Amino acid sequence: MKGFVFHGPGQAAWQDVPDPAVKEPTDAIVKVGAVTICGTDLHILKGDVPEVRPGTVLGHEAVGEIVEVGSDVRTVRPGDRVLISCITSCGRCRFCRDGSYGQCRGGGGWILGHRIDGTQAEYVRVPCADLSVHALPAALRSEDAVLLADIFPTAYEVGVLNGHVRPGDTVAIVGAGPIGLAAIVTARLFAPERIIAVDLVPARLEAARRLGADAVADVREAPGQLVSDLTDELGADVAIEAVGVPESFELCTRVVRPGGHVANVGVHGRPATLHLEELWIRNVTITTGLVDTYSTPTLLRMAAAGRLPTGLLVTHTFPLQQMEEAYEVFSRAGETGALKVVLGGEQHAELAVPAA
Ligand SMILES: [Zn+2]
Ligand SMILES: [Zn+2]
């Protein structure tokens, strides 16, 4: 089969790789029908995630059809159309028993396209299949569902829920890439008074408005002042960091009101300054997190009911074998306007999984 293989910083190729096989009785083999590229994959390509070994197939977000299961898999069968979660869960360790699947110590957590071969391939082996894939309702298109593998549960759990967004809140979202946009969509579920989106790319600020931001600010044009003006100088109830650079984290700590929440979602590669000399007196709560994906079943039901417009984040689609072109477009998002790119899916039906 073909897969997108990481060969070290700056080097990767869509190439022949061995077909995956069931290794453990809890494994499933999935024929990939729709797959996306994540900002995290770009971090890996840059060499920011050194534990990814050369030779690894990348990717941790996909929809596909089960083609084979190990003898201990109970909840899915060959022929089932499933969402592959970015988080694998053993279901038995202390963290999994607590719903913190992202921190799994039983062989799960974020492993696909990280510690083992991932989803940017024609077939993928998914360990602990019972708890790591979700059967998909027939009504949900693959290119809508695939956004629920990572982007939507991450924005919702680590941004909106960790940030304790409540009705009537002012929510400042710093970063209007796919995660920030999904945070806008899921924050709106709580009927905030207003959502303020901050970014430096005009096309992303436009997308933020389309998806429901009430005000937008270019990061170079005093976004802190805008938040202050809109909140009677109080600050935002919740500030969600969705970039992953020190400046955006520090901006969140400046725009949050006393007693408010800063929810960090961004993947950071450098230290950020925590201004405790200003924050100590302000009762601010700061949260961090890797997604656990405990919310995925809820989000899937909402998407199937038409209550979550996930597909609005998809700007480009490609056939699966155009993986290298898709990476090219996604990595130049500033010029191409790419938000999420989807490979496969129903538009490219020759590679799509038939609806269940
Ligand atoms: Zn991802
Ligand atoms: Zn576990």
Could you write out the three-class secondary structure of 189-249? HHCCCEEEEEECCHHHHHHHHHHCCCEEEECCCCHHHHHHHHCCCCCEEEEEECCCCHHHH
pTM over 0.75: yes
Instruction: Give me the pLDDT at residue 353, please.
Output: 41
Q: Output the CA 128–ligand 2 centroid distance in Å.
A: 9
Number of the ligand closest to the Cα of 105: 2
Which residue, 298, 329, 306, is CA-closest to 37?
329
Q: Are 138 and 124 in contact (CB under 8 A)?
A: no
Q: What does the pLDDT average to over 32-58? A: 95
Q: What token pair was written down for 314?
A: 């998809």
What is d(CA 21, CA 244) in angstroms, rounded to the nearest whole number? 36
- Write the Ramachandran bin of 244: left for phi over 0, alpha for psi from -120 to 50, otherwise beta: left
Q: What does the pLDDT average to over 38-49? A: 93
Q: Using DSSP, state whether 159 is helix, strand or coil.
A: helix
Q: Output the CA 133–ligand 2 centroid distance in Å.
A: 14
Helix axes 202-211, 178-187, angle to 10 degrees: 20
Number of the ligand closest to the Cα of 148: 1
Number of the ligand closest to the Cα of 109: 2
b/e sequence 62-84, b meaning 16+ C-beta within 10 Å: bbbbbebbbeebeebeeebbbbb
Mean pLDDT of the chain: 95
Instruction: Give me the pLDDT at residue 345, please.
Output: 82
Instruction: Give me the pLDDT at residue 44, please.
Output: 95
Is residue 159 scored above 60 in pLDDT?
yes
Q: Output the CA 232–ligand 2 centroid distance in Å.
A: 46
**Angle at CA 57, nearest 5°, toward 53 and 59?**
110
Number of the ligand closest to the Cα of 108: 2
What is d(CA 163, CA 184) in angstroms, rounded to the nearest whole number? 13
Q: Output the CA 41–ligand 1 centroid distance in Å.
A: 7
Which residue, 141, 82, 64, 85, is CA-closest to 304?
141
Task: Supply the DSSP symbol for 174.
Answer: E
Instruction: Give me the pLDDT at residue 354, please.
Output: 42
Is residue 350 scored above 70 in pLDDT?
no
Number of the ligand closest to the Cα of 93: 2
Is residue 48 scored above 90 in pLDDT?
no
Q: Are 197 and 184 in contact (CB under 8 A)?
A: yes
Q: Output the CA 89–ligand 2 centroid distance in Å.
A: 5
Q: What does the pLDDT average to over 14-42? A: 97
Number of the ligand closest to the Cα of 128: 2
pLDDT tens digits for range 295-346: 999 999 999 999 999 999 999 999 999 999 999 999 999 899 999 999 998 7
Q: What does the pLDDT average to over 235-263? A: 97
pLDDT tens digits for range 255-304: 999 999 999 999 888 899 999 999 999 999 999 999 999 999 999 999 99
Q: Output the CA 104–ligand 2 centroid distance in Å.
A: 4
Give the confidence band of 349 by pLDDT, cuts at 50, 70, 90: low
Q: Output the CA 244–ligand 1 centroid distance in Å.
A: 14
Q: What does the pLDDT average to over 96-120? A: 97
Domains and CATH numbers, the chain: 2-150+292-351 (3.90.180.10), 153-287 (3.40.50.720)
Number of the ligand closest to the Cα of 88: 2
Q: Output the CA 109–ligand 2 centroid distance in Å.
A: 7
